[in-house]
Structure 1
Amino acid sequence: MGGGGDERLKAVEKTKKRKVKTMPGIQMALLIAFPSANFSPAKAIIWLLFSTFFLLLVAAGEVVSSRVVKYWRQRYSLFSRYDEGIAMDEEGWFSVTPEEVATRQAELCGRIGAAVVVDGFSGVGGNAIQFAKRGYYVVAMEIDPRKVEFGRHNAEIYGVEDSIDFIVGDFLRLAPTLKVCLWTELHRLFVDCFIAC
């Protein structure tokens, strides 16, 4: 029993001999708020800034996860009419084509003269809306019923809901039977527009 007590006494003596460093007020407050040894003042400041930003989003009536914040900051490049009530789920934030890109893609597809376009993975409707704005009739297919509702809602905001048929379904099963301009976004890396006839 005596050996363990001696070690504890030595540890206490070492602690007493240490010099106490003074800290600026903010560091002291952060140390009190985040006493973990692995939580440095720099990390704490970043955490506080992020938390404040998140609280501002909540106060504004929009709750977004930390995974979506960087996309939320670019919301007007995704949908220029975002403030009019655009609806998206978490996946929609990082899978929707930015509006300017979708506009350019719709213009490029206009060169092949198709009248009907199928957006096989329409998500929340970003590409479908831009095709409809260019005068195409669009069949927008999405396997997730919630995203289909968001797409319909977003098309109404842009005033093109009459030019788009939103369908809940599996595009990969339907694709072999189509004879229209297919708009595919497989893997979201290779974007191509081609005539399937």
Structure 2
Amino acid sequence: MGFARIVISCRDLKARVLACQYWSQRHTLFEGYDDGVCLTDDAWFGVTPEPLARQIAYEVSGASSSKTTIVDLFAGDRDTLACAQNNAKIYELTDEITWVHGDSFEYLRLALEEPEKLHEALRIDPASTILFGSPPWGGPGYRTDEVFNLHKMEPYNLRQLHQAYKSFDHALYLPRTSDLRASKALVAWIPAENSSHPTFYYGDD
């Protein structure tokens, strides 16, 4: 009798179990889920639910009439981007998005210091750009922390993120259990240096 051997790493198995747990929330994550939305296993617990994503987009878009570009700094790996491109097509947004697979920190460095090394379509002006970041929180396990320490967040802590983003107005999506003292500091840090634009702080519901 023949048999097939299937090997799944512990990490992959855990991601698949979590994906099953989030299945019942699929229409909250994406209202258009039944239209062919694609998600990687990790995205089931990493994606921002559509109602909240719409609210964030509304708030950020109203920051200033001078802002014409938003850069999503943690859009994911190659597989996640492939799903995002598929989903953008479903939501009829393909003409409004430029996709970049790479290191967002290096991209920002080039945009500021060596823009000539970037394709013309990828060059951005800090004065007309807002950065949005939903940095890794460590997966659903963050919910077990009574207080989420932003300064010990891995792999990028709050200070590292601000240092990289300080030339731009920026918004960060962080857990609602974040240390309030750190989040107050965050709100004070968010505008680009010498900027008079409003600040934003978002917590997970």
Q: With structure 1 as the length reference, what TM-score do the two structures score?
A: 0.52
**Correspondence for 1:154:** 87
Amino acid at match of 1:187: P
Equivalent residues of 1:68, 1:90 under 8 A apart: yes
List gaps (5 residues or longer) in structure 2.
1-14, 113-123, 138-149, 151-171, 175-186, 194-205
Q: What is the DSSP-based 3-state SS (H/G/I as helix, E as strand, rest coil) of the residue aligned with 1:156?
A: helix
Shift of 1:196: 4.2
**Correspondence for 1:184:** 133
Poorly superposed stretches of 4+, deviation over 6 Å: none
Report the Cα distance in structure 1 between the residues aligned to 2:192 and 2:86, rounded to whole angstroms.
Answer: 29
Q: 1:84 aligns with which of 19, 35, 46?
A: 35
Equivalent residues of 2:135, 2:173 under 8 A apart: yes
Shift of 1:92: 0.8
Report the Cα distance in structure 2 between the residues aligned to 1:65 and 1:184, rounded to whole angstroms.
Answer: 25
More helix by share: 1
Please give the root-mean-square deviation of Cα atoms over the aligned residues, in Å. Answer: 2.3
Q: What is the DSSP-based 3-state SS (H/G/I as helix, E as strand, rest coil) of the residue aligned with 1:66?
A: helix
Counterparts of 1:32-111 in structure 2 under 5 Å? Answer: 65-111=16-62
Report the Cα distance in structure 2 between the residues aligned to 1:90 and 1:169, rounded to whole angstroms.
Answer: 21
Equivalent residues of 1:121, 1:171 under 8 A apart: yes
List gaps (5 residues or longer) in structure 1.
1-63, 124-143
Could you tell me the percent identity over the aligned residues? 29
Q: What is the DSSP-based 3-state SS (H/G/I as helix, E as strand, rest coil) of the residue aligned with 2:85?
A: helix
Amino acid at match of 1:152: Q
The one-character-per-residue Cα deviations of 1:138-170 (angstroms, maximum 9, x if unpaired) are xxxxxx211111111100000011001111111
**Correspondence for 2:11:** none
Is 1:173 aligned with 2:106?
yes
Shift of 1:70: 1.9
Count the aligned residue pairs.
114
**Correspondence for 2:147:** none
Structure with more relative contact order (C-alpha pairs < 8 Å, separation 6 or more): 2
The one-character-per-residue Cα deviations of 1:23-75 (angstroms, maximum 9, x if unpaired) are xxxxxxxxxxxxxxxxxxxxxxxxxxxxxxxxxxxxxxxxx922212211100
Bigger-Rg structure (1/2):
1
Is 1:118 aligned with 2:91?
no
Shift of 1:195: 5.5
The verdict on how the C-alpha distance between 1:195 and 1:116 changes in structure 2, with shifts beyond 3 A counting, is farther
Equivalent residues of 2:30, 2:50 under 8 A apart: yes
Report the Cα distance in structure 1 between the residues aligned to 2:97 and 2:53, rounded to whole angstroms.
Answer: 15
Shift of 1:116: 0.3
Q: What is the DSSP-based 3-state SS (H/G/I as helix, E as strand, rest coil) of the residue aligned with 1:118?
A: strand
The verdict on how the C-alpha distance between 1:196 and 1:165 changes in structure 2, with shifts beyond 3 A counting, is farther
Report the Cα distance in structure 1 between the residues aligned to 2:18 and 2:58, rounded to whole angstroms.
Answer: 32
Report the Cα distance in structure 1 between the residues aligned to 2:135 and 2:18, rounded to whole angstroms.
Answer: 22
Amino acid at match of 2:71: V
Q: With structure 2 as the length reference, what TM-score do the two structures score?
A: 0.50
Q: 2:78 aligns with which of 145, 170, 191?
A: 145
